[in-house]
Amino acid sequence: MEPITAAVIILFVLFALLLAAGAGLYRRVKELELAAYSGVGVKLAQESLSIGRPGVTTIVAKINRRCPVCEEVVAAIAKLAPDLPDSVSFTVVSDDPAFDKKLPESVQLIKDPEIWRSISVPFTPALLVVDEQGVIVYTTPAGSGDVVADIARRAIARKEVSL
């Protein structure tokens, strides 16, 4: 076989591998994008209707007992909750019945694994913004306390716009 023919075949194989890798990455990005919007526009399940207060926009934090980032998320909620207006509230939903983190009185705490499972977002920790009718309007992974603060600012701005 001539060296030029061998080089062309090797380049073709490398190009095909590059295309396959690109297609796989594209598919994964699309899956992640769909996961980020999972549940938006859906009313919370019947057993979850006890989440939040009527007429109030609720920021629901879904946390896990084995999650190292969740401690930072809970700390951010504890810091932000006292300064929220009455039109916005926090709810923490944990799968740990022995959850014992300090939270302000204004934060609703639900320690029920059944309700935790009924919130069907594919990531933990997660933040969900639930409107006054119990419809999820936004979901996002809660990767840090800064994300919690940003979502709280957005929920307050959303509520002020709707008034």
For residue range 150-162, what is the model confidence (pLDDT) as tens digits? 999 888 887 665 5
Residues 6+ apart with CB under 8 A from 52: 58, 60, 89, 91, 108, 130, 134
Number of folded domains in the chain? 2
Cα–Cα distance measured from residue 35 to residue 123, given in angstroms and rounded to the nearest whole number: 8
Range list of H helices, 37-119: 68-80, 113-118
pLDDT given at position 20: 93
Task: Answer yes or no: is 41 within a domain.
Answer: no
pLDDT band at 101 (very low <50, low <70, confident <90, very high): confident
pTM, rounded to two decimals? 0.70
Specify whether 65 is located in the same domain as 137. yes
Specify whether 27 is located in the same domain as 69. no
Least confident of 9-18, 77-86, 110-119, 154-163: 154-163
CATH of the domain at 127: 3.40.30.10
For 143-147, what is the mean pLDDT? 88
Cα–Cα distance measured from residue 52 to residue 58, given in angstroms and rounded to the nearest whole number: 6
Helix (H, G, I), strand (E, B) or coil at 135: strand
Backbone CA torsion sign across 132, 137, 141, 147: negative
1-5, 46-50, 116-120, 135-139 — which one is most confidently predicted on average? 1-5
Specify whether 57 is located in the same domain as 78. yes
Q: Is the pLDDT of residue 73 over 80?
A: yes
Task: Answer yes or no: is 85 within a domain.
Answer: yes
Query: In terms of residue numbers, what domain contains 26?
Result: 1-36
Task: Answer yes or no: is 125 within a domain.
Answer: yes
The helix or strand, by DSSP H or E, that contains position 139, with its residue range, turns out to be: strand 136-141
Mean pLDDT of the chain: 83
Residues 6+ apart with CB under 8 A from 110: 50, 51, 91, 92, 93, 94, 116
Cα–Cα distance measured from residue 57 to residue 53, given in angstroms and rounded to the nearest whole number: 8
Specify whether 87 is located in the same domain as 114. yes
